[in-house]
């Protein structure tokens, strides 16, 4: 058993990995965590027979479709959320991640890549009313052709097909067949990752997340900074009206984009 919590995370650059005191670990949990949070699932046991969550097509759409097709069980307990009381921020070089108080969760993200086909992208979303399912869940992970070649030269990523499991960029070109699902698919995927990593807080967050070139490790560092300061947050029980504004409340399988 490995708790899906911020304090179980091992720092990794390319994915989120959780581990326990016995040395068991599971990697690449961020897309599944995003799907759970984005579908309003707050209590789940995930069973795996390997050390990595399946990458599928590089997005969370497959998990979202399965969750919404199966349905969720409403439990007879109030939803507990984490309310931000003051701003918390971390920075590493030109990258930063910040949480500020807000009535509901929103994500603002900015990326800036050397690849001309990616470049600078900015997007902001209020995560209420199923926006994750409609806007983000089918956005795929991405990398450059040079990254693929370097990983394969090191004996990594040999079991996957980058054209199937990710969007591959090479300068001003999109190498993957079929191109992009959205013009700004990279920043949408970064927001998907952020939601999954924030879900490791252990409860829905009521606050605004601002990511500037941030990634998995910086978001986890942000949660560690948050929980190190008991004056920065508190648990609250959500009213029915407040619970209806949490990510995933009331979503339906028909809201999954047709491209997924």
- Provide the annotated active-site residues: 216
Q: Give CA–CA dist 95/126, Å, rounded.
A: 22
C-alpha distance from residue 102 to each of 24, 84, 90, 193 (Å): 36, 7, 18, 20
DSSP 8-class letter at 27: B
Question: CB under 8 Å, gap of 24 or more: what pairs does 142-149 form?
Answer: 142/58, 142/118, 142/166, 142/167, 142/168, 142/169, 142/185, 142/186, 142/189, 143/167, 143/168, 143/169, 144/115, 144/168, 144/169, 144/170, 145/169, 145/170, 145/175, 146/170
Distance linking the first and last C-alpha atoms of the chain: 31
C-alpha distance from residue 209 to each of 28, 106, 123, 147, 191 (Å): 21, 6, 12, 28, 10
Query: What is the full DSSP assignment across 39-96?
Result: TT--S-----SSSB---TTSSSHHHHHHHHHH--PPPSSPPEEEEE-S-EEEEETTEE
């Amino acid at each position: 058993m490995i708790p899906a919590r911020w304090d179980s995370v091992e720092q990794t650059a390319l994915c989120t990995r959780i581990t326990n005191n016995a040395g068991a670990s599971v990697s690449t949990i961020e897309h599944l965590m995003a799907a759970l949070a984005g579908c309003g699932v707050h209590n789940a046991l995930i069973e795996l027979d390997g050390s990595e969550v399946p990458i599928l097509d590089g997005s969370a759409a497959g998990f979202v479709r399965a969750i919404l097709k199966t349905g969720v069980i409403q439990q007879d307990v109030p939803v507990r959320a984490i309310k931000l009381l003051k701003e918390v921020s971390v920075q590493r070089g030109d990258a930063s991640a910040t949480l500020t108080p807000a009535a509901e969760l929103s994500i603002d993200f900015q990326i800036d890549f050397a690849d001309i086909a990616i470049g600078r992208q900015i997007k902001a979303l209020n995560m209420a009313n199923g926006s994750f399912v409609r806007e983000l869940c089918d956005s795929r992970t991405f990398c450059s052709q040079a990254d693929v070649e370097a990983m394969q030269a090191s004996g990594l990523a040999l079991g996957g097909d980058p054209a199937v499991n990710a969007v591959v960029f090479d300068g001003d070109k999109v190498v993957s067949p079929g191109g992009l699902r959205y013009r700004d698919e990279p920043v949408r995927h970064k927001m998907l990752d952020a939601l999954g990593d924030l879900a490791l807080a252990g409860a829905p967050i009521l606050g605004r997340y601002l990511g500037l070139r941030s990634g998995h490790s910086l978001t986890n560092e942000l949660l560690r900074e948050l929980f190190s300061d008991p004056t920065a947050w508190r648990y609250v029980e959500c009213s029915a009206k407040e619970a209806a504004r949490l990510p995933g409340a009331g979503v339906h399988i028909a809201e999954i984009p047709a491209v997924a």
